[in-house]
Structure 1
Amino acid sequence: MSETSSQEDELAGTEQPFVQHLMELRDRLVKAMIAIGVAAALLFLFPGPGALYDFLAAPLVAHLPKGATLIATSVISPFMVPLKILLMSAFLLALPVVLWQLWAFIAPGLYSHEKKLVLPLVISSTVLFFIGVAFCYFFVFGQVFSFIQGFAPKSITAAPDIEAYLSFVLTMFLAFGMAFEVPIAVVVLARMGVVSVEKLKSFRGYFIVIAFIIAAVVTPPDVVSQLALAVPMCLLYEVGIWAAQVFIKHTKAPEDAEETASSSS
């Protein structure tokens, strides 16, 4: 039996009825929801919804005028906003478990060389998303709020609404978290053969322009936050090109690797 045919038979016998797939998907979703629920219960007990909100609001509160606070314009906002933050934090805390359940669901349908690609991408995309969120919270927020408060006229007393602030925070977290996924997108596009590494290299100049346009659209109108989003995107694009070459080399199907070796010899 040839090497190619043995690879074609690698998944033979692993097929499952459609109903069984649905049942497994249900079980995986239930386990993911349980993980989120457990994380929410732990966060509710410690440090608690109020402490989570205070932590999230700390970068803004630190730059408000002395004595100024955030306000709630809705009757239920003091209850709903901390609850939303609790659920968001629980999802982030349980994200590794959620992604593991996703991986466990799709892994049986993948060849061994495909598993070598998917698992590292799942792990690295999670890490990069967290790095993007942390970078936004610990660096960008301080610069943005300092600029806004420094630009505001002295006759204006800032009293931001907590729901508006939550919406702003979620938008910024999502923007920076997704921006830090640039290497993953580059690797996937190159590995799937949508674009070649050479094309990605020649696209550098266009990507820089696109990165600054995206930064201008999704961030507040200050130079610091726009540079804080655009510059990492450009650097991560270069990281993605390097990573794509490594992944393509080490995740080829066995028959593709044999063809490459024979053609080079």
Structure 2
Amino acid sequence: MTTENGKPEELPVTAQEDAAPAGDPNLEDPGLDEAAEEEENDGRMTLMQHLLELRKRVVRCFIGIGVGFLICYPFAEQMFRILMDPMTKALTKVTEHKSVLPQDFFEKFQQAVTQGLQGTDFPYMDQLPTFFDSLQQSMVKVVMHQGQFIYTYPPEAFFAHVKVGLVAGFFLMSPFLFYQIWGFVAPGLYSHERRWIVPVAMISAIFFVAGGLFGYFVVFPFGYEFFASYASDMISFTPKLSEYLGFSLRLLIAFGLVFELPIFIFFLARIGLVTHKGLRRNQKYAILIAFVLAAVLTPPDPFTQSLMAGPLVILYEVGVWVAFVFGKRKKKDAEDQEAPEVATEDAAEEKTEKQESA
């Protein structure tokens, strides 16, 4: 079309776009751009939104711990006895080894007295075992209460049961708590990576509980027996309730957190922040950090520190293999795999051109 002056009429921009061929690859669909931009910005949040999300997750965590406490507190007495059991056994074992008289002395003495009183009118024959048990405990070279703890503050025993209920509720609700933690991280992940949130939260809870069980069944028996063995003629070991309970609960939570190391490395490897080669290269620094971290999380003694640092080094090695298997592949590796195919295609085209020219 032309105007009255003979010049070609210019179509509007929209008309030119409508007139463009539908199969032109150089033109981009605005609708696709908007969809891609929405998908890219889907996980972006402002600082205020991050703070609000953090507050929401923290409130949910406190509510979850409260629910776990209400569920576990009715069983606090049973869990309290279970938690005291490692130290009770350690005290009993050390006491038996430090007895003034042989172990069978009291058994034979009880049998002799019982036989001597047979046929007499002694009215307390059924209480003789209790008497000899008390006599055996009183003849211990190191004076200590077998399986007993002391407390000096009146409500101390009550708060001990409350602490046990809180920690038990924390372990019970750990899947929900870890889901809230990973849910807070989710906005920074891609959509296909967010599908891992629930499985990773469950695995994190399993590793956390496994760490606590490792501390209770492996570390506690050896550790408490080692500490109780330092009692002597001049040193009497009578554990205080609040100090022992705080020590034990801190160790349980510390071992639970330490067992999260493979999950943490898995997350960093999936987003490409660490690789198995880098982890292997920095292994000596990781061992040093393991002992430093164990010194911070455990009491200042080399025995307990080694009991935590050892599993931490092993878990780091497990994390290296996790990064090797599940780590994000770099673009360079993909290009290296595509390079032989591109070279083959170039060689085929060059051969075809030579045949045509011939």
Structures share fold, TM-score greater than 0.5 = yes
Which structure 2 segments of 5+ residues have no match? 1-27, 96-136, 138-144, 339-358
Deviates more, 1:103-112 or 1:64-73: 103-112
> For the aligned residues, what is the CA RMSD?
3.5
Deviates more, 1:202-211 or 1:14-23: 14-23
- Pair 148,21 (structure 1): closer, same or farther in 2 beyond 3 Å: closer
3-state secondary structure, aligned to 1:158: coil
Deviates more, 1:25-34 or 1:49-58: 25-34
CA distance in 1, matches of 2:293, 2:61: 33
Residues 114-143 of structure 1: per-residue CA shift (max 9 Å, x gap): 325555443333222221111111111100
CA distance in 1, matches of 2:41, 2:295: 51
3-state secondary structure, aligned to 2:229: helix
Deviates more, 1:69-78 or 1:125-134: 125-134
Residues 53-94 of structure 1: per-residue CA shift (max 9 Å, x gap): 221111112222454311112122011111121112112211
- Residue in structure 2 matching 1:57, options 79, 84, 97: 84
Deviation at 1:17, TM superposition (A): 9.0
CA distance in 2, matches of 1:186, 1:109: 17
The 8 Å contact of residues 197 and 241 in structure 1, kept in 2 or not, is answered as yes
- TM-score (normalised: structure 2): 0.59
- Pair 178,116 (structure 1): closer, same or farther in 2 beyond 3 Å: same
Partner of 1:133: 212
The 8 Å contact of residues 179 and 198 in structure 2, kept in 1 or not, is answered as no
3-state secondary structure, aligned to 2:39: coil
- Pair 150,114 (structure 1): closer, same or farther in 2 beyond 3 Å: same
Higher helix share: 1
Partner of 2:8: none
- Pair 31,210 (structure 1): closer, same or farther in 2 beyond 3 Å: closer
Amino acid of the structure 2 residue aligned with 1:205: K
Q: Does 1:142 align with 2:142?
A: no
Q: How does 1:196-235 map to 2 (within 5 A)?
A: 196-215=275-294, 218-219=298-299, 221=301, 223=303, 225-235=304-314
Partner of 1:44: 73
The 8 Å contact of residues 43 and 189 in structure 2, kept in 1 or not, is answered as no
- Pair 33,195 (structure 1): closer, same or farther in 2 beyond 3 Å: closer
- TM-score (normalised: structure 1): 0.77
Deviates more, 1:232-241 or 1:177-186: 177-186
Q: Does 1:175 align with 2:175?
A: no
- Pair 240,20 (structure 1): closer, same or farther in 2 beyond 3 Å: closer
- Pair 101,172 (structure 1): closer, same or farther in 2 beyond 3 Å: closer
Partner of 2:149: 70
Bigger RCO of structures 1 and 2 (CA < 8 A, at least 6 apart): 1
Residues 154-175 of structure 1: per-residue CA shift (max 9 Å, x gap): 4433221111112211332233
- Residue in structure 2 matching 1:238, options 311, 314, 317: 317
Amino acid of the structure 2 residue aligned with 1:36: I
The 8 Å contact of residues 190 and 196 in structure 1, kept in 2 or not, is answered as yes
The 8 Å contact of residues 144 and 220 in structure 1, kept in 2 or not, is answered as no
Once the two structures are aligned, what percentage of the paired residues are identical?
35
Amino acid of the structure 2 residue aligned with 1:138: F
CA distance in 2, matches of 1:213, 1:31: 32
CA distance in 2, matches of 1:79, 1:57: 15
Partner of 2:178: 99
Partner of 1:10: 39
